[in-house]
Amino acid sequence: MPQTIYVLNGPNLNLLGTREPEIYGHATLADVERLCAETAASLGLTAVCRQSNHEGELIDWIHQARAEQAVGIVLNAGGYTHTSVALHDALVGVQIPTVEVHVSNIFARDSFRHHSFIAKASFASLCGFGIDGYRLAITGLAARLSAGAKA
Ligand code: CA2
């Protein structure tokens, strides 16, 4: 059976491709989820893709990832990145290798976007690659999993 990864997108990422293309590009959330499914499949993984505008639902899915024995999480927590101790705690609680992703370069934007509560609970963070960041995150996650499996 293929191993499962969870790809979680937080608040307002359902609006991708509809506004602010100069920051977020033209691709939609459906494009992101297709890219993730294809990338995961090419690496022998199954991607479970979810998006929510609600912090608690994201936390429930992080817990569900552990219950379902997911081997990795790719998380774009949207605006909760910069505010959510609860999402940080959920990630620390489940102990699943996590990659943080942002479509935009958060460090080239407002100073309130420069701090991430997710980064401390992640083994890698990617930002500024547009939606290609999700492909890079899944590829890096798979490489880490296979390096761990060989160690
Ligand atoms: O760059 C990213 O991926 C972000 O996580 C996106 C969040 C933002 O709060 C983070 O600082 C960085 C916001 C997502 C909003 O997405 C929209 C997309 C199109 C139109 C409006 C909002």
The pLDDT of residue 150 is 78
Q: Which residues contact 120 (CB under 8 A, 6 or more apart)?
A: 88
Q: How far is the CA of 47 from the centre of ligand 1 (A)?
A: 21
Choose, from 6, 80, 88, 102, the residue flagged as catalytic. Answer: 102
In this structure, are strands 72-76 and 124-127 parallel, antiparallel, or unpaired? unpaired
pTM of the model: 0.97
Q: What is the mean pLDDT of residues 127-145?
A: 98
pLDDT digits (tens, 9 = 90+) for 31-46: 999 999 999 999 999 9
Farthest-apart Cα atoms in the chain, separation: 45
Q: How far is the CA of 123 from the centre of ligand 1 (A)?
A: 21
Show binding-site residues: 76, 82, 89, 103-104, 113
**46-82: burial string, b at 16+ Cβ within 10 Å, e else:** ebbbbbbbebeebbebbeebeeeebbbbbbbbbebbb
Q: What is the mean pLDDT of residues 118-132?
A: 98
Domains detected in the chain? 1-147 (3.40.50.9100)
Whether the predicted pLDDT of 151 surpasses 80:
no
pLDDT digits (tens, 9 = 90+) for 49-93: 999 999 999 999 999 999 999 999 999 999 999 999 999 999 999
The pLDDT of residue 21 is 95
Ligand 1 pocket check for 12: Cβ under 6 Å:
yes
